[in-house]
Structure 1
């Protein structure tokens, strides 16, 4: 845009403030850009939409929000209760970023959905745990016990690895994140796996003997992974990332989001309130 000489000095100053928000695009182009890459709420303030599962991701974003506001970034949190829609909304430019997933899940999702997303920065780790339902002792597993696990590929494989670590079963060649129930080579208790959407697994506890639950979903039903799980991951490599669209990695407001989530304030919140159920990854 160019300034027109017919404006008075005062009008020109006001117009320049608008220009600083719009950048170098024309009015209609700027409005379109604002919708897809951070709407301008007021002169000097940029709004970003970040998709997240409520606990702990949404809670951590709420801690980061006032830190961002001091830097001229208003945070709008959009909550989801599944693992598919946050990535599809980011791909379609309805979000500027999301925060709910570890990188193995993102990599598998991209392969299957042909999305164009990028893991920007690790924030925390949520150890996966095995919880008792109808049965409470992993050393006395009933014959034919039902065990609920997540049905998405990476968390399903992760659950099988955890069951193997707990001595419940054995996987072909030691197993991997890509393992499926077809890779079970030893099943001494004749367990039956019930594969469910990850968010539904904790709600299945009353109907199964055991369940392998992601910590964020365990927390939503008031299960403390440290206190309530029968067996929990040790030294989990599955850090949860802030994820953006490819090409947006260097957007200043998204870099500020990462710095806020990796701040001492967020770290203190994790350590004081989540007490081992969530571990900082920075």
Structure 2
């Protein structure tokens, strides 16, 4: 195949969910419902944290930031997926593809860092409760969120700019429902060695550091909980970590599942379905996990929803 310079590339082709007209309607309705669920569910968490003074704590500050990240990630992907379900062609412009790559990297990395910060918050709260208010000051929490956003943005811009240097072949079909940097690099006809080295190096560092922090935090938390004599004390300590552990398992489990499935199977459709798990299913589940497992959050949501009729 003849390589084409990036300036000649006008669009990429994404994988079609289905060609059956009846299934198109069903899938469009399902994805629209999930998108609305993501936006409304996570928005309710953000509003509940902002409106209830009892939730003005580091744990809920990180949670509201996580909800904002989930809304942003799904908004980066879902509108285009919905349009392509109904469209005759599954194309996405070259600029649109680069934009998706950049924002997916920003919000996925940011979510990883936020989960790490939340684990650190639980570690300090359980292992060093007397020092909690001294360590977890508002300034530190804001700094952690902004620093993680800055690092994630810098990493995403680096990879996006590195894609600009690539030349592509005539076959520009991406075997996913959205533009993902690894799949786009695979389409390049020019040498992509530097892109791959930077990609896996950044993934190892930006994904490995938060995950290592989470593992270390929960190792220390578990050790501290086992030393608690009362059953009630152990249950209370575990309950404060249960929601976060569920979200961590869902996020990293589905993320790793994508790369494992792409390595062990030749089915691009299975890989595409797996990729939807961490980009769509995880943001959908997060609000339910935190609202159903957290008494304070349930109370704040009841108050917030109760105010709506009275304000109309």
TM-score relative to the length of structure 1: 0.25
Instruction: Say which one has the larger Rg.
Output: 1
Is the helix fraction higher in 1 or 2? 2
What TM-score do you get using the length of structure 2 for normalisation? 0.23
Which protein has the bigger strand share? 1
Bigger RCO of structures 1 and 2 (CA < 8 A, at least 6 apart): 2
